[in-house]
Chains A and B, each alone.
Chain A
Amino acid sequence: MPRLLAHLLLLLALLAAPLRAADEEQDEPAPELAAPPPDRARLVAALLAPAAEQVAAVRALVGAEDAAIEPVLTAWRAGELFLVPLPDGTRVPATLAPAAAHAPGAAPDQLVALAVADGRPILAPASTADSPEPNVRNTNIAPAPLLIASRQLRPLDTSAPLRRAIRDVLEVAGVSDPRPHVRRESIARIGQSHKTEHLPLLLARLEVEKSSVVLRTLREAVALLRLSDPDPAVRAEAFVTLGDVRSLIAAARFKEALALPVGDPSAPSAADAVGMRRSLQRIEGHWARVNFAGNLFRGLSAGSVLLLIALGLAITFGLMGVINMAHGELMVVGAYATFVTQNIFVSVFGAGSAGFHYYFVAALPAAFVSAALVGLVIERSVIQFLYKRPLESLLATWGVSLALQQTFRLIFGPANVQINAPSWLQGGATVADVAFAYNRLFVIGFAALVVFGVWLVLNRTPLGLLVRAVMQNRQMASCIGVRTTRVNMMTFAFGSGLAGLAGACLAQLGNVGPSMGQLHIIDSFMVVVSGGVGNILGTVFAALGIGTVDQVLQPVLGPVMGKILVLFAIILFLQWRPGGLFPTRSRSLD
């Protein structure tokens, strides 16, 4: 009984696991539990029909809306479909599968028969008597599946015309599959196949198709097949349709056709060429815009990552004037905190369970707090003595960063650790052909949230007021009774916590290893400097700008050259505006 319960729980977990919605297509409405679709009966009838009628029955399956048609016919053609005799004399068409998944305790070589009619295992009869068939042995427990010891059942026969019929049906079976993504793939394949004989089938589907995504593919496929239509008017309409649906396949074909020399027998007519060019222009314009939008989006998300890292630095370096070379390591603390939280969730909820996927929600505060604590220790032990010596704070904190790196190595090992993204951060959505990955969307949203939070803390809380006062003039603030040591401590811990948050986010996007912090530290210093020190807004603009420029340059120049170019661009930019984008105005002079 506890064992059954465990299996039930497992089943529940498995069913709950695909929480995410890939595109707008709903996959697999749990076929085992739903009632078999009406077309299933036709399939079963075809299998049981006399050999002479089977060809016609199979051909009649074209257009039937049943996902089982394809696997069953494939199995039939491959000789893996069987008629299982039951004690009452009837024969049930079924496929065989290893018994272990359906009947716990079965030997590894035993098989169960999955009935074509409902996909469920055929159950052994309730009687304790031995089965009349020598190869079929029933077990004593009433509802258990029928176990089959070996593959001595004879597979269902096929003849040559039948196999041809099966092949023809299979070729177009996907068009009416209940699963949208299968339909799309199948329709797209037919569209590219040049087989105009399938046109009527597609046109029939056009009448009943409801999914807008599939409809687009369907229109594209129909128009592609009509490109070889003898009637110029039909072709002209096809050009327009292909332009409407932004067909990339059509664009490639048009380019090929238009590149043919004049006089080539397969070169398009003058009217066709005009239609093709117009269509091509629309298609290419659309995809150029899509690529641009995609680059912009990726740049925005890269900029958001930079922003998250640089925001903590904008506080510790920009506001406090401490060059914290250990900032990258504080970020790594956050990343490892995420790793530890993940492992705790795995040991509590089990890997891949529904609860596990929410570990990231707990990891964010854990990362913030652990990095803030480490920052607090650094501030108390080293930095508090160096507020008047910024250049030397660089050296001391670099020493701290070396020690921290070695500590990571000793605790977590020198290799990168594995962090699995929660299911709700995997995958993405496609809007107007631009792909938006969920983890990138999350980073953008999260960065915006953190910026807002930092602004709120600095400008709308008593702590923020004290922070700004101390940062503007430490001695004056101290004179009017602000406890500057405490404010320094809190500010530094806050900046360090932000680094921890950045680390938690980065753990979702890339590798986590002991020296990961070094990769980002120089970039983020550049962001703060070019944004204008002592200014959060400048950091936001600089991070997003640098991220986007970097991302737009990368496809053209390659990852390293793009980065080098950006670095040199920043150096030159600072020639023009030495104080950064938004310099702090001050009348003080040393």
Chain B
Amino acid sequence: MSAPASLSAVEPRFFTRTQWAAFLVPTLLLALVLPLLNAFLPADSFLRPSDFTLNLYGKYATYAVLALGVDLLWGYLGILSLGQALFFALGGYAFGMHLLLMIGKDGQYKSDLPDYMVFLGYKALPAHWEPFYSFPFATAAALIVPGLLAFVFGWLAFRSRIKGVYLSILTQALTYAAALLFFRNDFGFGGNNGFTDFKRILGADLSSPDTRRWLYVASVVLLAGVFLLYRWLTRAKFGHLMQAIRDGENRVLFSGYATARYKLFVFVLVAAITGLAGALYVPQVGIINPSEMTPEKSIEAVVWVAVGGRGTLLGPILGAIFVNALKSWATRAAPELWLYILGGLFVGVVLLLPGGLVSLPAKLRAFVARLRRSGDVPVADASKPSA
């Protein structure tokens, strides 16, 4: 609602010099220094990140790409999509098909067919699996399949001006229906076991530390690239238009912009990129099954964004890492408390910290300033994004 202030503050430069530094230093550290340390330091060195750590960070990086997508839609465009986990998992499935075919005869049944097909009594590979022998095709499919689904669904939804809560519920239903479909054995994608037991990618052994290091680097590079892309998108006039649609779609519509097309474009772009992140996620965790595409997973991704700070591009990344790190700690330390922690995090962030983690320094500064000027009238914090 308080749009005019942000509209007037058009910043001409993509990044200031300090911002470049703030972007490049951590990126280089994560994408270059950590893998080098991991590769060349002796195993018992204090400075060497373990293989497990790198793998974990790689996973977080793909989650962060998913969270960035949620944020671009929710924080900038005002669409709370609960179908992002579906796009993520669809990308994962498309790439998983390739990985499954790459197992070759090394599976349990020593057959050319994937194990579950042998188990279910398939005689030959279904025709739509054939092209997935090709790595480029599978990668393209990881982009195109989620993009296509997003296009069809988004075209239908935005055309009839479904928005707000209704869109959230519809995307949730779509995800739910898709999960039900993938849970079925006769749908042909491995039922509730999904795909697993992958052996190699591009001829390289998936269990070797070298391969895993490269997957990690790829994830970080993807994250950095997506960050730059979204930064550019939100900084351009397009970005202002997105925020204008978020704050008052009808006004933008009456100003002569076909808002549905803008929304559709962002929705499809985000779905495709999320699918790519899913494709990178699968070889790192070694499994993809329908529980990855449930509405709950989508909501979890929304929570990362809410915790990190919506309407900023740094927030989702921080949120994805923070919540997942908390999860891996809590599920080990106090499994029965994890749901309480997660639930409490939701409620706490929504009620007490609507700006997320990234708004914390500003809040602290304001708090300290208020303490110093004790006696003065307390100043209200005006930096909240509107719903």
Known: A392-B350, A394-B168, A406-B336. A575 touches B160 (CB 8 A): yes
Please tell me if the beta carbons of A386 and B350 are within 8 angstroms of each other in the complex.
yes
A390-B387, A574-B160, A574-B166 given; A399·B346 CB < 8 A = yes
The verdict on B285 contacting chain A, using a C-beta distance below 8 Å, is no
- Judged by DSSP, the binding face of A is helix
Instruction: Assess the B347–A390 pair: CB atoms within 8 A.
Output: no
Query: In the complex, how many angstroms separate the beta carbon of B43 from the nearest chain A beta carbon?
Result: 40
* A522: Cβ under 8 A from any B Cβ: yes
Is B237 among interface residues, defined by CB-CB distance under 8 A?
no
In this complex, which of B165, B170, B302 has the most chain A Cβ atoms within 10 angstroms of its Cβ? B165
Q: A323 and B249 in contact (CB under 8 A), knowing A385-B351, A571-B170, A571-B173?
A: no
Given known A-B contacts A406-B336, A406-B340, A574 and B295 have beta carbons under 8 A apart: no
Distance A391 CA – B351 CA, assembled complex (angstroms): 13
Residues from chain B with a CB closer than 8 A to the CB of A589 are: 250
Are B295's CB and A522's CB within 8 A?
Answer: yes
Asked if A590 is an interface residue, CB under 8 A from chain B, the answer is yes
**Measured CA separation A24–B346 after assembly (Å):** 57
Residues of A within 8 A of B336 (CB): 406, 409-410
The answer on a CB contact under 8 Å between A398 and B165 is no
Q: How far is the CA of A386 from the CA of B176 in the complex (A)?
A: 26
Task: Decide if B343 is an interface residue (CB 8 Å cutoff).
Answer: yes
Which B172-213 residues sit within 8 Å CB-CB of chain A? 172-174, 176-177, 180-181, 183-184
- State whether A396 and B162 are in contact (beta carbons under 8 Å apart), knowing that A389-B387, A410-B336, A564-B181 are contacts in the complex: no
Determine whether the beta carbon of A395 is less than 8 Å from that of B170.
Answer: no
Q: For chain A residues 511-530, which have a beta carbon within 8 Å of chain B?
A: 518, 522, 525-526, 529
User: A410 CA to B334 CA in the complex, in Å?
Assistant: 14
On whether A402 and B343 interact (CB within 8 A), knowing A522-B172, A590-B248, the answer reads yes
Range of interface residues on chain B? 35 or more
Q: Tell me the count of chain A residues lying within 8 A, CB to CB, of chain B.
A: 45
Complex contact A560–B346 (CB within 8 A): no
Complex partner residue of A403 from B183, B306, B343, CB under 8 angstroms: B343
Per-residue interface assignment for chain A, residues 567 to 590, with 1 indicating a CB less than 8 Å from any chain B CB and 0 otherwise: 110111011101000000000011
In-complex Cβ contact of B164 among A382, A391, A410, A522 (8 A): A391
Bound-state CA distance A560–B180 (Å) is 7
A564 closest partner in B (C-beta): B177
Contact assessment for A382 and B160 in the assembled complex, using a CB-CB cutoff below 8 Å: no
Which residues of A (372-425) have their CB < 8 Å from a CB of B? Answer: 382, 385-386, 388-396, 398-403, 405-406, 409-410
Query: B350, A395: Cβ atoms under 8 Å?
Result: yes
Q: Tell me how far the C-beta of B51 lies from the nearest C-beta in chain A, rounded to whole angstroms.
A: 33
Report yes or no: B176 in contact with A567, Cβ–Cβ below 8 A. Answer: yes
Q: Mark B328-360, 1 if CB is under 8 A from A, else 0.
A: 000000001001101111110111001000000
Q: List the A side residues contacting B344 at CB < 8 Å.
A: 399, 403
Contact indicator B299/A390 (Cβ below 8 Å): no
- The residues of A that contact B166 with a CB separation of less than 8 Å are 529, 533, 574, 578
Q: Are A392 and B173 in contact (CB under 8 A)?
A: no
- In the complex, residue of chain B having the shortest beta-carbon distance to the beta carbon of A382: B347
A382 to B347, CA, bound (A): 7
Q: How many whole Å from B155's CB to the nearest CB in chain A? A: 10
Residues on the B chain within 8 Å of A163, using CB: none
| 3 A-B pairs closest in CB distance | A399-B346, A403-B343, A402-B343
Q: B-contacting residues of A (Cβ < 8 Å)?
A: 321, 323, 325, 382, 385-386, 388-396, 398-403, 405-406, 409-410, 518, 522, 525-526, 529, 533, 560, 563-564, 567-568, 570-572, 574-576, 578, 589-590
Can you list 14 A-B contacts with CB-CB less than 8 angstroms, sorted by A residue number?
Answer: A323-B168, A323-B169, A391-B164, A392-B387, A395-B302, A398-B299, A400-B347, A402-B340, A522-B176, A525-B172, A526-B173, A574-B170, A575-B157, A578-B160
